[in-house]
Amino acid sequence: MTSRAGRAAALLTAAGLLCGGCSLLPRTAAGPAAPASTTARPAASVQPTAAAAPLASLLPFPPARLQAAASLAGRFTAAWDSWSWQQAPAAWLARLQPMAAAELYPALAQAAGDRGVLAQRTAARQVAVATVTGLAITGLTPGSVTVTAIAAQVIMGSSGTSRSSAGWAVTLTPEGSGWLVWDIEPAGAGNS
């Protein structure tokens, strides 16, 4: 059991070193002005140092592939947390579907069709725009990567504008040479 915990700690440490801490985006204390885009800002290119090269052998995925997973987690989170009372649930689903594993789609469809949530958004004429402000790899196994994405959300509606920030735990699984989102839930809950 101790060797398994030690190996897990070594994997996360190696991933952190090779991905520049995988804090690919800066975290800001203040909420953003109304963002114009729902996509994550591009991550800076991180080149592993010669000293970090031996650590790469501990990782189940190459650093560039881990960065691709974090990038997809950011795009998915921004799309997940952005919506409009005027937009049909099917349009929201259509944005998420290409990034999601087939196993996640039923849960997404259920979330999209929640009549209570939709009625509340329509009554308040709400539009939400999310921007991902931080990404960090928080879980790594040979079959998945969990990325914590911090999303700043601006909600505009008939009663004014509000700003909030939330952390989302996004678990991705490899699909061919890419990734698919397998799960998303509040970061405090952890993925199950």
Which CATH fold would you assign to the domain 2-189?
Nuclear Transport Factor 2; Chain: A, (3.10.450)
Alpha carbons 180 and 159: distance in angstroms, whole number: 37
> Please, what is the Cα angle at 23 between 22 and 27, to 5 degrees?
170
Contact between 78 and 38 (Cβ < 8 Å): yes
Q: What is the pLDDT of residues 157-166, one digit of tens each?
A: 999 999 999 9
Whether residue 96 contacts residue 88, with contact meaning beta carbons closer than 8 Å, is answered with no
Tell which phi-psi region holds residue 176, choosing left (phi > 0), alpha (psi between -120 and 50) or beta. Answer: left
Averaged pLDDT, 120-124: 95
Band of pLDDT at residue 59, cut at 50, 70 and 90: confident
pLDDT of residue 153: 97
